[in-house]
Protein backbone atom coordinates (compact mmCIF):
# COMPACT_ATOMS: atom_id res chain seq x y z
CA UNK A 1 0.00 0.00 0.00
CA UNK A 2 1.36 3.44 -0.95
CA UNK A 3 1.88 6.16 1.68
CA UNK A 4 -0.86 8.30 0.09
CA UNK A 5 -3.26 5.36 0.33
CA UNK A 6 -2.45 4.92 4.01
CA UNK A 7 -3.00 8.62 4.59
CA UNK A 8 -6.31 8.65 2.75
CA UNK A 9 -7.45 5.55 4.63
CA UNK A 10 -6.53 7.10 7.96
CA UNK A 11 -8.35 10.30 7.03
CA UNK A 12 -11.43 8.35 5.95
CA UNK A 13 -11.83 6.63 9.31
CA UNK A 14 -10.81 9.71 11.30
CA UNK A 15 -13.55 11.65 9.49
CA UNK A 16 -16.01 9.03 10.75
CA UNK A 17 -14.70 9.50 14.29
CA UNK A 18 -15.13 13.26 13.93
CA UNK A 19 -18.75 12.86 12.85
CA UNK A 20 -19.38 10.74 15.92
CA UNK A 21 -17.72 13.32 18.17
CA UNK A 22 -19.88 16.09 16.72
CA UNK A 23 -22.96 14.24 17.97
CA UNK A 24 -22.43 15.44 21.53
CA UNK A 25 -20.85 18.87 20.95
CA UNK A 26 -21.97 21.23 23.72
CA UNK A 27 -22.92 18.44 26.11
CA UNK A 28 -19.60 17.16 27.45
CA UNK A 29 -18.27 20.08 29.56
CA UNK A 30 -15.92 20.11 31.34
CA UNK A 31 -14.71 17.33 29.03
CA UNK A 32 -14.05 17.63 25.30
CA UNK A 33 -16.13 16.03 22.54
CA UNK A 34 -14.42 12.84 21.33
CA UNK A 35 -15.27 10.15 18.79
CA UNK A 36 -13.71 6.72 18.19
CA UNK A 37 -13.90 4.09 15.45
CA UNK A 38 -12.41 0.58 15.63
CA UNK A 39 -11.43 -1.02 12.31
CA UNK A 40 -10.45 -4.60 11.59
CA UNK A 41 -9.73 -5.93 8.10
CA UNK A 42 -10.98 -2.62 6.69
CA UNK A 43 -14.36 -3.00 8.36
CA UNK A 44 -15.74 -0.89 11.20
CA UNK A 45 -16.35 -3.26 14.12
CA UNK A 46 -17.01 -0.72 16.86
CA UNK A 47 -17.65 2.97 17.32
CA UNK A 48 -18.57 5.39 20.05
CA UNK A 49 -18.55 8.96 21.32
CA UNK A 50 -18.35 10.61 24.73
CA UNK A 51 -21.93 11.68 25.57
CA UNK A 52 -21.34 13.72 28.74
CA UNK A 53 -19.08 14.11 31.76
CA UNK A 54 -19.20 11.11 34.07
CA UNK A 55 -20.09 8.72 31.25
CA UNK A 56 -17.51 6.40 29.65
CA UNK A 57 -15.19 7.91 27.06
CA UNK A 58 -15.51 7.31 23.33
CA UNK A 59 -12.89 4.56 23.31
CA UNK A 60 -14.78 2.54 25.92
CA UNK A 61 -18.04 2.62 23.97
CA UNK A 62 -16.16 1.58 20.83
CA UNK A 63 -14.41 -1.28 22.65
CA UNK A 64 -17.72 -2.51 24.06
CA UNK A 65 -19.23 -2.52 20.57
CA UNK A 66 -16.24 -4.35 19.08
CA UNK A 67 -15.87 -6.97 21.80
CA UNK A 68 -13.24 -9.59 20.92
CA UNK A 69 -12.90 -8.09 17.43
CA UNK A 70 -10.89 -5.26 19.01
CA UNK A 71 -7.91 -7.60 19.49
CA UNK A 72 -5.39 -6.88 16.74
CA UNK A 73 -7.56 -4.06 15.35
CA UNK A 74 -6.94 -0.35 14.80
CA UNK A 75 -8.73 2.39 16.68
CA UNK A 76 -9.16 5.91 15.32
CA UNK A 77 -9.78 8.48 18.03
CA UNK A 78 -10.07 12.25 17.60
CA UNK A 79 -8.21 13.01 20.85
CA UNK A 80 -5.30 11.31 22.58
CA UNK A 81 -6.57 8.58 24.93
CA UNK A 82 -6.37 9.55 28.59
CA UNK A 83 -3.75 7.97 30.84
CA UNK A 84 -4.94 9.20 34.23
CA UNK A 85 -7.73 8.35 36.66
CA UNK A 86 -10.57 10.85 36.68
CA UNK A 87 -14.29 10.16 36.97
CA UNK A 88 -13.55 7.17 34.73
CA UNK A 89 -10.53 4.89 34.37
CA UNK A 90 -7.65 5.47 31.92
CA UNK A 91 -8.60 4.69 28.32
CA UNK A 92 -4.98 3.71 27.61
CA UNK A 93 -5.26 0.81 30.04
CA UNK A 94 -8.51 -0.32 28.41
CA UNK A 95 -6.96 -0.23 24.93
CA UNK A 96 -3.91 -2.19 26.09
CA UNK A 97 -6.08 -4.78 27.83
CA UNK A 98 -8.25 -5.13 24.71
CA UNK A 99 -5.17 -5.93 22.64
CA UNK A 100 -5.56 -3.29 19.93
CA UNK A 101 -2.62 -3.24 17.53
CA UNK A 102 -2.67 0.36 16.38
CA UNK A 103 -4.01 3.68 17.66
CA UNK A 104 -4.48 6.59 15.24
CA UNK A 105 -4.87 9.89 17.10
CA UNK A 106 -6.27 13.13 15.71
CA UNK A 107 -4.54 15.46 18.15
CA UNK A 108 -2.67 15.45 21.45
CA UNK A 109 -4.76 16.27 24.53
CA UNK A 110 -4.01 19.84 25.77
CA UNK A 111 -4.92 18.77 29.31
CA UNK A 112 -1.65 18.92 31.31
CA UNK A 113 -2.68 15.67 33.04
CA UNK A 114 -2.47 13.89 29.69
CA UNK A 115 -0.61 15.94 27.03
CA UNK A 116 1.45 13.21 25.38
CA UNK A 117 1.46 10.79 28.28
CA UNK A 118 -1.22 8.68 26.65
CA UNK A 119 0.86 8.22 23.51
CA UNK A 120 3.94 7.33 25.56
CA UNK A 121 1.94 4.81 27.61
CA UNK A 122 0.55 3.12 24.49
CA UNK A 123 3.92 2.92 22.74
CA UNK A 124 5.56 1.53 25.86
CA UNK A 125 3.01 -1.30 25.69
CA UNK A 126 4.11 -2.10 22.13
CA UNK A 127 1.16 -0.48 20.37
CA UNK A 128 1.80 1.34 17.08
CA UNK A 129 0.65 4.97 17.43
CA UNK A 130 0.14 7.57 14.69
CA UNK A 131 -0.60 11.18 15.69
CA UNK A 132 -1.91 14.15 13.71
CA UNK A 133 -4.46 12.72 11.27
CA UNK A 134 -6.93 15.51 10.34
CA UNK A 135 -5.43 17.46 13.23
CA UNK A 136 -6.76 20.92 12.25
CA UNK A 137 -10.32 19.57 12.22
CA UNK A 138 -9.79 17.70 15.49
CA UNK A 139 -8.35 20.85 17.11
CA UNK A 140 -11.24 22.97 15.86
CA UNK A 141 -13.69 20.48 17.34
CA UNK A 142 -12.21 20.84 20.83
CA UNK A 143 -11.44 24.58 20.61
CA UNK A 144 -13.86 25.40 23.50
CA UNK A 145 -12.19 22.75 25.68
CA UNK A 146 -8.73 24.06 24.78
CA UNK A 147 -9.67 27.66 25.61
CA UNK A 148 -11.27 26.61 28.90
CA UNK A 149 -8.45 24.37 30.10
CA UNK A 150 -5.74 26.88 29.14
CA UNK A 151 -7.39 30.08 30.42
CA UNK A 152 -10.29 29.05 32.63
CA UNK A 153 -12.62 31.00 30.33
CA UNK A 154 -15.07 29.91 27.63
CA UNK A 155 -14.67 30.28 23.88
CA UNK A 156 -16.74 33.26 22.69
CA UNK A 157 -18.37 33.03 19.27
CA UNK A 158 -19.57 36.36 17.90
CA UNK A 159 -22.52 35.71 15.59
CA UNK A 160 -24.25 38.35 13.50
CA UNK A 161 -26.39 38.69 10.38
CA UNK A 162 -25.86 41.57 7.97
CA UNK A 163 -26.71 42.85 4.54
CA UNK A 164 -23.98 43.07 1.91
CA UNK A 165 -23.34 46.66 2.98
CA UNK A 166 -22.78 45.63 6.59
CA UNK A 167 -26.13 46.63 8.11
CA UNK A 168 -27.74 44.60 10.88
CA UNK A 169 -30.90 46.73 10.86
CA UNK A 170 -32.52 49.63 9.04
CA UNK A 171 -32.46 53.19 10.33
CA UNK A 172 -35.81 52.49 12.05
CA UNK A 173 -34.39 49.41 13.76
CA UNK A 174 -36.03 46.70 11.63
CA UNK A 175 -33.91 43.57 11.59
CA UNK A 176 -36.36 40.68 11.22
CA UNK A 177 -35.53 39.05 8.99
CA UNK A 178 -32.30 39.97 7.23
CA UNK A 179 -31.35 36.36 6.55
CA UNK A 180 -33.44 33.53 5.15
CA UNK A 181 -35.04 30.53 6.84
CA UNK A 182 -32.11 28.22 6.12
CA UNK A 183 -29.70 30.58 7.88
CA UNK A 184 -32.01 30.97 10.85
CA UNK A 185 -32.37 27.19 11.13
CA UNK A 186 -28.58 26.90 11.20
CA UNK A 187 -28.46 29.39 14.09
CA UNK A 188 -30.70 27.05 16.09
CA UNK A 189 -28.24 24.25 15.36
CA UNK A 190 -25.51 26.51 16.75
CA UNK A 191 -27.54 27.11 19.89
CA UNK A 192 -27.89 23.38 20.24
CA UNK A 193 -24.09 23.04 20.32
CA UNK A 194 -23.07 25.75 22.80
CA UNK A 195 -23.18 25.95 26.58
CA UNK A 196 -24.57 29.48 26.74
CA UNK A 197 -26.09 32.31 24.67
CA UNK A 198 -25.29 35.88 25.63
CA UNK A 199 -27.09 39.16 24.86
CA UNK A 200 -27.02 42.68 26.26
CA UNK A 201 -29.86 44.47 28.01
CA UNK A 202 -30.63 46.45 24.82
CA UNK A 203 -31.39 43.28 22.87
CA UNK A 204 -33.39 41.87 25.78
CA UNK A 205 -35.53 45.04 25.91
CA UNK A 206 -35.90 45.61 22.18
CA UNK A 207 -36.51 42.07 20.94
CA UNK A 208 -37.78 40.26 24.06
CA UNK A 209 -36.11 37.07 22.77
CA UNK A 210 -36.55 33.54 24.06
CA UNK A 211 -32.97 32.49 23.19
CA UNK A 212 -34.01 28.86 22.98
CA UNK A 213 -33.19 26.06 20.56
CA UNK A 214 -36.10 25.41 18.23
CA UNK A 215 -35.25 22.21 16.40
CA UNK A 216 -37.16 18.97 15.84
CA UNK A 217 -36.16 16.13 18.14
CA UNK A 218 -33.99 13.68 16.22
CA UNK A 219 -30.93 11.47 16.51
CA UNK A 220 -29.47 9.86 19.60
CA UNK A 221 -28.87 13.14 21.46
CA UNK A 222 -31.91 15.31 22.25
CA UNK A 223 -31.88 19.03 21.51
CA UNK A 224 -30.99 21.27 24.40
CA UNK A 225 -31.55 24.87 25.47
CA UNK A 226 -28.29 26.43 26.71
CA UNK A 227 -27.90 28.84 29.60
CA UNK A 228 -29.19 32.31 28.73
CA UNK A 229 -26.88 35.14 29.84
CA UNK A 230 -27.93 38.79 29.93
CA UNK A 231 -25.33 41.52 30.44
CA UNK A 232 -27.36 44.21 32.21
CA UNK A 233 -25.26 46.77 34.06
CA UNK A 234 -28.30 48.84 35.17
CA UNK A 235 -30.80 46.01 35.63
CA UNK A 236 -33.05 47.29 32.89
CA UNK A 237 -34.53 43.90 32.02
CA UNK A 238 -38.30 43.65 32.36
CA UNK A 239 -39.73 41.34 34.99
CA UNK A 240 -42.24 40.29 32.32
CA UNK A 241 -39.63 39.42 29.69
CA UNK A 242 -39.48 35.93 28.23
CA UNK A 243 -35.98 35.54 29.63
CA UNK A 244 -37.40 35.97 33.11
CA UNK A 245 -40.83 34.38 32.84
CA UNK A 246 -40.10 31.42 30.58
CA UNK A 247 -37.87 29.69 33.12
CA UNK A 248 -39.03 26.20 32.19
CA UNK A 249 -37.24 26.45 28.82
CA UNK A 250 -33.77 27.37 30.09
CA UNK A 251 -32.15 29.03 33.11
CA UNK A 252 -31.21 32.70 32.88
CA UNK A 253 -28.13 34.33 34.37
CA UNK A 254 -28.21 38.13 34.67
CA UNK A 255 -24.85 39.85 35.09
CA UNK A 256 -25.01 43.29 36.68
CA UNK A 257 -22.75 45.64 38.63
CA UNK A 258 -21.80 45.27 42.26
CA UNK A 259 -22.98 48.86 42.74
CA UNK A 260 -25.42 49.58 39.91
CA UNK A 261 -26.40 53.31 39.92
CA UNK A 262 -28.71 52.82 42.86
CA UNK A 263 -29.09 56.13 44.62
CA UNK A 264 -32.86 55.63 45.10
CA UNK A 265 -32.71 51.92 45.87
CA UNK A 266 -34.51 50.97 42.65
CA UNK A 267 -31.93 48.46 41.52
CA UNK A 268 -31.69 46.84 44.95
CA UNK A 269 -35.44 46.25 44.84
CA UNK A 270 -35.27 44.99 41.23
CA UNK A 271 -32.42 42.64 42.12
CA UNK A 272 -34.48 41.15 44.94
CA UNK A 273 -37.45 40.69 42.63
CA UNK A 274 -35.34 39.00 39.96
CA UNK A 275 -33.68 36.69 42.46
CA UNK A 276 -37.15 35.59 43.51
CA UNK A 277 -38.01 34.44 39.97
CA UNK A 278 -37.73 30.72 39.26
CA UNK A 279 -34.83 29.83 36.97
CA UNK A 280 -33.24 33.26 37.27
CA UNK A 281 -29.89 33.97 38.92
CA UNK A 282 -28.30 37.40 39.31
CA UNK A 283 -24.54 37.74 39.67
CA UNK A 284 -22.92 41.03 40.61
CA UNK A 285 -19.57 41.84 39.03
CA UNK A 286 -17.07 44.74 39.07
CA UNK A 287 -17.29 47.58 36.57
CA UNK A 288 -14.89 48.24 33.73
CA UNK A 289 -13.42 51.67 32.88
CA UNK A 290 -16.69 52.67 31.15
CA UNK A 291 -18.78 51.84 34.20
CA UNK A 292 -20.29 48.70 32.69
CA UNK A 293 -20.01 45.04 33.64
CA UNK A 294 -16.42 43.90 33.27
CA UNK A 295 -16.73 41.21 30.60
CA UNK A 296 -13.44 39.57 31.57
CA UNK A 297 -14.83 39.10 35.08
CA UNK A 298 -17.98 37.64 33.53
CA UNK A 299 -15.88 35.30 31.38
CA UNK A 300 -14.09 34.04 34.49
CA UNK A 301 -17.44 33.60 36.24
CA UNK A 302 -18.81 31.53 33.37
CA UNK A 303 -15.62 29.49 33.11
CA UNK A 304 -15.83 28.64 36.80
CA UNK A 305 -19.25 27.13 36.03
CA UNK A 306 -17.69 24.87 33.37
CA UNK A 307 -19.20 26.90 30.54
CA UNK A 308 -16.88 26.16 27.61
CA UNK A 309 -18.65 27.92 24.74
CA UNK A 310 -20.75 31.08 24.51
CA UNK A 311 -22.66 32.26 21.45
CA UNK A 312 -22.79 36.06 21.54
CA UNK A 313 -26.03 37.20 19.89
CA UNK A 314 -25.97 40.75 21.21
CA UNK A 315 -26.32 44.13 19.56
CA UNK A 316 -23.72 46.69 18.59
CA UNK A 317 -22.98 47.83 22.16
CA UNK A 318 -22.24 44.37 23.55
CA UNK A 319 -20.30 43.43 20.41
CA UNK A 320 -18.12 46.52 20.81
CA UNK A 321 -17.49 45.73 24.46
CA UNK A 322 -16.50 42.20 23.49
CA UNK A 323 -14.15 43.59 20.84
CA UNK A 324 -12.47 46.08 23.16
CA UNK A 325 -12.15 43.44 25.88
CA UNK A 326 -10.30 41.12 23.48
CA UNK A 327 -12.70 38.28 24.16
CA UNK A 328 -13.83 37.37 20.65
CA UNK A 329 -12.41 33.97 19.65
CA UNK A 330 -14.52 33.07 16.62
CA UNK A 331 -16.69 35.10 14.24
CA UNK A 332 -19.71 33.76 12.38
CA UNK A 333 -21.16 36.30 9.97
CA UNK A 334 -24.28 35.52 7.93
CA UNK A 335 -24.42 37.68 4.80
CA UNK A 336 -27.76 38.24 3.05
CA UNK A 337 -27.95 39.49 -0.56
CA UNK A 338 -29.62 42.73 0.47
CA UNK A 339 -28.49 46.36 0.49
CA UNK A 340 -30.05 48.88 2.87
CA UNK A 341 -27.86 51.85 1.96
CA UNK A 342 -27.36 55.13 3.77
CA UNK A 343 -25.22 55.95 6.75
CA UNK A 344 -27.97 55.69 9.36
CA UNK A 345 -28.49 51.91 9.36
CA UNK A 346 -27.26 49.81 12.27
CA UNK A 347 -23.90 48.02 12.13
CA UNK A 348 -22.34 45.10 13.94
CA UNK A 349 -20.34 47.35 16.26
CA UNK A 350 -21.04 50.66 17.98
CA UNK A 351 -18.70 53.48 18.93
CA UNK A 352 -15.22 53.90 17.52
CA UNK A 353 -13.33 51.10 15.85
CA UNK A 354 -9.59 50.60 15.49
CA UNK A 355 -7.73 53.56 14.03
CA UNK A 356 -5.15 51.46 12.19
CA UNK A 357 -5.61 48.47 9.92
CA UNK A 358 -2.76 46.79 11.76
CA UNK A 359 -5.01 46.73 14.86
CA UNK A 360 -7.90 45.00 13.13
CA UNK A 361 -8.86 41.48 14.11
CA UNK A 362 -7.44 39.03 11.59
CA UNK A 363 -9.44 35.88 10.98
CA UNK A 364 -7.78 32.65 9.91
CA UNK A 365 -8.98 29.14 9.14
CA UNK A 366 -11.78 30.89 7.25
CA UNK A 367 -14.71 28.75 6.09
CA UNK A 368 -17.63 29.67 3.84
CA UNK A 369 -20.99 27.91 3.68
CA UNK A 370 -24.04 28.69 1.61
CA UNK A 371 -27.62 28.63 2.86
CA UNK A 372 -29.80 29.35 -0.14
CA UNK A 373 -28.67 32.77 -1.30
CA UNK A 374 -27.11 33.60 2.08
CA UNK A 375 -23.45 33.08 2.89
CA UNK A 376 -21.91 32.21 6.23
CA UNK A 377 -18.33 33.40 6.67
CA UNK A 378 -16.68 31.85 9.71
CA UNK A 379 -13.17 32.15 11.08
CA UNK A 380 -11.00 32.06 14.15
CA UNK A 381 -9.50 35.21 15.60
CA UNK A 382 -5.81 34.71 14.93
CA UNK A 383 -4.35 35.75 18.28
CA UNK A 384 -6.83 33.52 20.11
CA UNK A 385 -6.00 30.30 18.31
CA UNK A 386 -4.72 27.58 20.67
CA UNK A 387 -1.08 26.67 20.29
Residues designated as active site: 59
Q: What residues have CB less than 8 Å from 50, skipping those under 6 apart? A: 21, 24, 28, 31, 32, 33, 34, 35, 56, 57, 58, 61
Kindly give the pairing relationship between strand 196-200 and strand 309-312: parallel
In contact, 359 and 347? CB cutoff 8 Å: no
The Cα–Cα gap between 57 and 177 comes to 41
What stretch of H or E contains 145?
helix 143-151
Q: How far apart are CA 25 and CA 4, in angstroms?
A: 31
> Can you name the residues that pair with 379 across neighbouring β-strands?
331
CA distance linking residue 80 with residue 67, whole number of Å: 21
How far is 33 from 142, CA to CA, in rounded Å?
6
Which residue, 314, 35, 36, is CA-closest to 156? Answer: 314
Burial letters for 281-316: b for 16+ Cβ neighbours within 10 Å, e otherwise?
ebbebeebeeebbbbebbbebbbeeebbbbbbbbbb
Q: From the centroid of its chain, how far is CA 304?
A: 16
Dmax (CA) for the chain in angstroms is: 79
Distance separating alpha carbons of residues 344 and 121, to the nearest angstrom: 62
Amino acid sequence: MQCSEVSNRHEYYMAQALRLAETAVGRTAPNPSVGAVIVRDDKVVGEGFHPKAGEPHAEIFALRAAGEKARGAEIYVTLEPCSHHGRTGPCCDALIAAGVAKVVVGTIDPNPQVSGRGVVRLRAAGIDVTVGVLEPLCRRLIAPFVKHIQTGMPLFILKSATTLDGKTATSSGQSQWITNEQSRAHVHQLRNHVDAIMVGSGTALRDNPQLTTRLPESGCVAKRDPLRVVVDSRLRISLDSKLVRHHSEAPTLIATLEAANDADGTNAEKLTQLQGCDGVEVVTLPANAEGRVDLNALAECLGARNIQSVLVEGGAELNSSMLSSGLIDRVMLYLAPKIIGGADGKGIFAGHGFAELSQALQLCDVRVQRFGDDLLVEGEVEQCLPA
